[in-house]
Structure 1
Amino acid sequence: MELRRRLARTAMSRPGVLLAVSPGATPERLALEAELVLRGWACASAPADADLLVVLGTGPAEGQDWVMNLWRAMSAPKARVSLTNADEVATVLDHGLAALRAGMPHPEEQESHVSEGHGRHHQHGGHAMPSGHGEHDMHAGHAETEDPDTHDGHDGHDEHHGHDGHDMSGGHDGHGDHPRHDEHHGHDPHQGHDPHSGHDMPGEHHGHAGHDMGSGHDGHDMSGGHDMSGGHDGHDTGSGHAGHDGHAGHDMGSGHAGHAGHDMGGVVDGLPMAGRADDRDGLRLDRLHVPLGPGLVDWPAGLVLRLALQGDVVQQVDVDVESAASGSPRPPFWNEPWLRAVAGERVTRGDAARRLCAAHLDSLGRFFAVAGWADMAARARHVRDSALAGAGAAELSALARPLIRRAERSRALRWLTAGLGPLAAEHAAHLGVTGPALVADGDAYRRMLVWLDAVGRSAAACDDTSALDPATGTAGPRGRVDRSAPPPSRPLLDALPGLLEGAEFACARIIVASLDPDLDELAYVPTAGAVPHG
């Protein structure tokens, strides 16, 4: 026991940290990312890689479903903390590390420990128990326990003492090898309903398998439980999984042979099944509804895209920004210098150029990350942090120049992103786009080039002490900053459906990253008479 505690303490010296960012929490996110680099802690790309969940922002994100889904998807030992002030980032991380080493559960988990775990067994368990055996759900409550030392002998749902014939490790008749009753596998309604293959055996991968989204965004279950990490892998059950005998909710009278039961969608265990709809070629194919966001890494905070997929092609997109609708008195961090200038405060051109440079470097970091270029993403964020820390024009230009040159010369990056999400200048102007997306007059690659050019020019101008003219110098990172007009990110959101429809699913995140809308702008509710300060 003591050896295990020592090993756990050593392993937790540099925990993986998962960020749950709400709109309006950009200062906290930037401070946290910089502190993680200083400490050498990893920024987790998915709940499975995380030990510490940090909820950022002053809004009600702490109790929202998507945050709770992230928390539940993390394995023990784990801890959760909230960061509402960028100046307290070091203290919050120290507290999270102490809680992680002590194996202390989150206060909310102590209150709802058994009830939440009991409900989750029914929601995600897949294998329904026969009537009269409700007592077999008694171990579901252990899913939320933080300290693994309290789980000796309770691995998953393997042990149900005293219930002969219902051994969860392999007692189901006709189910061969099931190493554990994993609550996120079983019969996910988004897995195994391939209308052309019936029951896919191990080794057969249909549908979306292999579409890596660039930076390890496993699962996408943080916005509603849609497991997309494995795509449509059929009914891959290891061995001996014939007919699904004894599985309530899956007996459709024909053992899923051919197309039985696939002509109409529905909801199973709270998850939507694929339905039929006309394809772009006039064929009727399965249509799967998949949400992206808001709990994704390198994703605009608060954005949810609800996609309708046919095969690997996006057929329909609905943009949901409900999480940004609550309103925040804090001005959007990236627009703060221009908002101050519009309010009548004196702002230097150098301050505006520094913020513009950092904003574009932040967007480039996301773009490189989702494109799979982790090294360049880290470099872009390093230069961003230097800009925000007050580096001079000469130093900042020296840091930015190699980054710009390397990105512009990369043939692989051009091959990967060219042709994705083309947005003509005429259509962009019609939508009201006024920023880099309008200047680019092209695809995701051209939008990246515009960012790179702006980084070079603004880095050289960050020492300019002349006053910013609010009448002519209102071009912020995403467009014109003017209180009399909609936020510049609003037309970018309006452009997303047209850019995504018809694109391959694997390209969706790159297209979003090439626009990088800032939902802080939509959440901001200015106070009368107040001067914005980020």
Structure 2
Amino acid sequence: MGVTSVLARWASTSVHVLIVEVPGWDESRMLLEAELDRRGWRVALSPADADLLAVCGMPGEELRAAFDLLWNQLPGPRTRVSVTTSVALSALLDAAVAHLVDDSRQRKDARARSRPAAAEDQRPDAGEHDGMDHGGMDHGGMDHGGVDHGGMDMPMPGGIPLAGGGDDRDGLEMDVLNVPLGPVLPHWPAGLVVDCVLQGDVIVSAKARVLEAASAPKDEPTTAVTDVAGRRIIRLCDDASNLLALAGWQTAAQNARRLRDDALRGADIADHAAALDRLRRRVERSVLLRWSLKGISLKGISLNEISLKGISLDEIPLKEIGLAAGARANTGNATPPDQATVDIRHRLIGWLREAAVLAGPSSGTQPPAASDSDRARQAQLALAALPELLRGTDLGTARLLIAGLGLDTAALAQTHEQTHE
């Protein structure tokens, strides 16, 4: 018992946390990530690697079922918390550590988990097969997060459907498989589910939907940032961090997230302009990133209509952001005008450049804030554009495209909440 207690307390100094986010609760998720960084804890990328499941927000019925399935996949010792406010967040995580090192509690949890599994199937190999993680199977490096693989005939044990047949582009028959992406994936829009039809690892068709939250946050913003520019910088850095992480550049992703967290704490954004511009230059000069993202673009989408979370620099008068007339073509903004095909690398550079300009002392007046209806309309257009955007891509490219689009599921969640009031 003494050795067990010592090992448990040693492991609790670096807890692995699987974060799941409900649409509209992105602020809770960002505050939690900032607290995890402060503690030196790690963000888990799959249930198998997690000690703690942290649910950010109040999920609706479908999301709750997906989160419950994830919870069943966590190995022991394990614990679970619900994050709906920044108040007492540190105390909440301290309590989670206490649960993890409580040996009697963890033994009781393990016994409760083993009884239903044994009663369900008495076959000699049932325990071995049931222990497989079907919800987190790796399709091109992606954890599908425990979404039901239904809709196919002749299911195999564990709910994995057999592939059907279909003609590929060369007229040859290939296996066809229905695979949902989401709603729980690392660096993925909250609540998004993309139901894909795959031939090999190529998406031949897709349907996108967003699972609903039980409710939107009711409290006033808990961060110290209330100005439009500061909150816009936070969103830009958050999306840049997600795209950089998916592209495999973890150091740059951490830098973007650290800048986001500094802004989230209410630090003077003018102090971050130089750091944001340095990060932008690193991204712009990186040959490896250029090669990694080569040929990946948002085709056929008008970014003047679908701008990231509302407002782009193209809608702000040049004199208000300190740019000379005619300089806009070289700024690399997040939403370049009159361009139906946008390379996501240029979009990433544009996010960082826009954040640096907004943080700089020459930014002048605040950018205009997008109305809730405008944000919702833009998010709906982006969601509707996803099936055509993803058709013909492989799964890895699809993940990068979705990250580069910057889908605002929070705006969709807010619209749904208003229609039901």
Asked if these proteins are the same fold (TM beyond 0.5), I'd say yes
Q: Could you tell me how far 1:462 is from its partner in structure 2? A: 9.2
The 5-angstrom pairing of residues 107-506 of structure 1 reads 113=113, 116-118=116-118, 122=121, 134=122, 157=127, 181-185=128-132, 211-212=140-141, 217=142, 219-224=143-148, 265-269=153-157, 270-324=159-213, 326-328=214-216, 330=218, 351-424=227-300, 427=302, 432-435=305-308, 438-439=335-336, 441=339, 442-460=342-360, 464=364, 466=365, 473-474=368-369, 480-483=370-373, 486-506=376-396
Paired amino acid for 2:90: A
1:522 matched to 2:418: no
- Is the 8 Å Cα contact of residues 266 and 274 (structure 1) preserved in structure 2? no
Distance in 2 (alpha carbons) for counterparts of 1:434 and 1:508: 19
Distance in 1 (alpha carbons) for counterparts of 2:180 and 2:221: 27
- Is the 8 Å Cα contact of residues 189 and 272 (structure 1) preserved in structure 2? no
- Is the 8 Å Cα contact of residues 433 and 491 (structure 1) preserved in structure 2? yes
Structure 2 equivalent of residue 204 of structure 1: none
CA change 1:37–1:79 in 2 (3 A) is same
Distance in 1 (alpha carbons) for counterparts of 2:54 and 2:280: 32
C-alpha distance after superposition, 1:40-88 (max 9, x if no partner): 1111111121111111113347982211222122211111111111222
1:86 matched to 2:86: yes
Paired amino acid for 2:284: E
Paired amino acid for 1:276: G
Q: Could you tell me how far 1:482 is from its partner in structure 2? A: 4.8
TM-score, normalised with respect to structure 2? 0.81
Q: Aligned pair count?
A: 389
Gaps of 5+ in 2: 313-333
Paired amino acid for 2:216: S
CA change 1:520–1:104 in 2 (3 A) is farther
Distance in 2 (alpha carbons) for counterparts of 1:320 and 1:62: 12
- Is the 8 Å Cα contact of residues 332 and 524 (structure 1) preserved in structure 2? no
Structure 2 equivalent of residue 74 of structure 1: 74
Distance in 2 (alpha carbons) for counterparts of 1:397 and 1:104: 51
Distance in 1 (alpha carbons) for counterparts of 2:88 and 2:164: 48
Q: Could you tell me how far 1:451 is from its partner in structure 2? A: 0.9
CA change 1:448–1:189 in 2 (3 A) is closer
Paired amino acid for 1:514: G
Structure with higher RCO (Cα < 8 A, 6+ apart): 2
CA change 1:332–1:521 in 2 (3 A) is farther
- Is the 8 Å Cα contact of residues 298 and 401 (structure 2) preserved in structure 1? no
Distance in 2 (alpha carbons) for counterparts of 1:225 and 1:9: 38
Q: Could you tell me how far 1:380 is from its partner in structure 2? A: 0.3
Structure 2 equivalent of residue 43 of structure 1: 43
Distance in 2 (alpha carbons) for counterparts of 1:190 and 1:12: 24
CA change 1:64–1:189 in 2 (3 A) is closer
Q: Could you tell me how far 1:190 is from its partner in structure 2? A: 12
Structure 2 equivalent of residue 102 of structure 1: 102
Q: Could you tell me how far 1:135 is from its partner in structure 2? A: 7.5
- Is the 8 Å Cα contact of residues 332 and 520 (structure 1) preserved in structure 2? no
User: Could you say which structure has the larger radius of gyration?
Assistant: 1
Distance in 2 (alpha carbons) for counterparts of 1:38 and 1:485: 32
The SS at the match of 1:422 is: strand
The SS at the match of 2:75 is: coil
- Is the 8 Å Cα contact of residues 79 and 104 (structure 1) preserved in structure 2? no
Structure 2 equivalent of residue 144 of structure 1: none
The SS at the match of 2:189 is: coil
The SS at the match of 2:385 is: helix
Q: Could you tell me how far 1:11 is from its partner in structure 2? A: 1.7
CA change 1:61–1:26 in 2 (3 A) is farther
Distance in 2 (alpha carbons) for counterparts of 1:73 and 1:438: 40
> Percent of aligned pairs with the same residue?
33
CA change 1:458–1:381 in 2 (3 A) is same
Q: Could you tell me how far 1:310 is from its partner in structure 2? A: 0.6
C-alpha distance after superposition, 1:331-386 (max 9, x if no partner): 9979xx9xxxxxxxxx8xxx211111111000000001111111111100000111
C-alpha distance after superposition, 1:184-226 (max 9, x if no partner): 459x7999xxxxxxxxxxxxxxxx98x33xxxx4x42422379
Paired amino acid for 1:321: V
The SS at the match of 1:305 is: strand
Q: Could you tell me how far 1:424 is from its partner in structure 2? A: 4.1
CA change 1:135–1:448 in 2 (3 A) is closer
Structure 2 equivalent of residue 342 of structure 1: none
Bigger fraction of residues in helix: 2
Paired amino acid for 2:161: P
1:11 matched to 2:11: yes
Paired amino acid for 1:439: P
C-alpha distance after superposition, 1:121-168 (max 9, x if no partner): 65xxxxxxxxxxx4759xx8xxxxxxxxxxxxxxxx5xxxxxxxxxxx
Paired amino acid for 2:196: L
- Is the 8 Å Cα contact of residues 354 and 387 (structure 1) preserved in structure 2? yes
Distance in 2 (alpha carbons) for counterparts of 1:189 and 1:8: 28
- Once the two structures are overlaid, the 10-residue window that deviates more, 301-310 or 56-65, is 56-65
